[in-house]
Homo-oligomer: A and B are copies of this chain.
Amino acid sequence: MSDSRVPRVVVVGAGFGGLEAARALAHAPVDVTLIDQQNHHCFQPLLYQVATAALSPSDIAWPIRGILRRQSNVRVVLAMVVGIDRKLRLVRTDWKPVPYDYLVLATGATHYHFGHDEWERFAPGLKRIEDATRIRDRLLLAFERAELATDQAQRLKQMTFVIVGGGPTGVEMAGAIAEVATQTLRSDFRHIDPALSRIVLLEAGPRILPSFPPDLSAYAERTLRRMGVEVRTSAKVTGVDADGVLLGDERIDTATAVWAAGVIASPAAHWLDAPRDRNGRILVNEDLSVPGAADIFVIGDTAHVQRAGAGAVPGIAPAAKQMGRYVGRLIIAKISETPLPGPFIYHHAGDLATIGRRAAVVAINRIHLRGLLAWVFWSIAHIYFLIGVRNRFVVAFDWLWSYLTFQRGARVIDNTPHKPIAAEHSGIKDTASTLH
Q: Are B133 and A414 in contact (CB under 8 A)?
A: yes
* Separation of A129 and B347 alpha carbons in the complex (Å): 44
Contact with A414, one of B57, B81, B93, B418 (Cβ below 8 angstroms): B57
B407 touches A397 (CB 8 A): no
Tell me which residues across on chain B come within 8 A of A436, comparing CB atoms.
Answer: 13-15, 36-38, 42, 44, 107-108, 127-128
Q: Which residues of B contact A390 (CB under 8 A)?
A: 398, 401, 405, 407, 409
Which chain B residues border A389 with CB–CB below 8 Å? 401
Interface size on A, residues (CB 8 A): 92
A107 and B433 contact, Cβ closer than 8 Å, known pairs A394-B394, A397-B394: yes
A70 contacts the other chain (CB 8 A): yes
A80 touches B37 (CB 8 A): no
Contacts A410-B58, A426-B94 hold; do A39 and B416 have CB atoms under 8 A apart?
Answer: yes
CA distance in complex: A425, B98 (Å):
14
Q: Is the CB of B13 within 8 A of A411?
A: no
How many monomers of this chain does the complex have? 2
- Tell whether, in the assembled complex, residue A413 and residue B38 are in contact, meaning their CB atoms are under 8 Å apart: yes
A267 touches B432 (CB 8 A): yes
Contacts of A70 in B (CB 8 A): 187
A59 surroundings in chain B (CB, below 8 A): 56
Per the 8 Å Cβ criterion, residues 386-436 of A in contact with B are 389-391, 393-394, 397-398, 401, 405, 407, 409-416, 418-419, 421-422, 425-426, 428, 430-436
- Given contacts A56-B57, A57-B414, 13 further A-B pairs with CB under 8 A are A42-B436, A65-B185, A70-B187, A75-B190, A76-B188, A78-B148, A79-B418, A80-B418, A81-B433, A94-B418, A94-B421, A94-B430, A107-B434
Which 10 pairs show the lowest CB-CB distances between chains A and B?
Answer: A94-B422, A266-B434, A58-B410, A65-B188, A56-B56, A75-B190, A63-B411, A69-B187, A110-B434, A13-B435
User: What residues make up the interface of A, taking CB atoms closer than 8 Å to B?
Assistant: 12-15, 35-40, 42, 44, 56-59, 61-63, 65-66, 69-70, 75-82, 92-96, 107-110, 127-130, 133, 140-141, 144, 147-148, 150, 185, 187-191, 266-267, 270, 389-391, 393-394, 397-398, 401, 405, 407, 409-416, 418-419, 421-422, 425-426, 428, 430-436
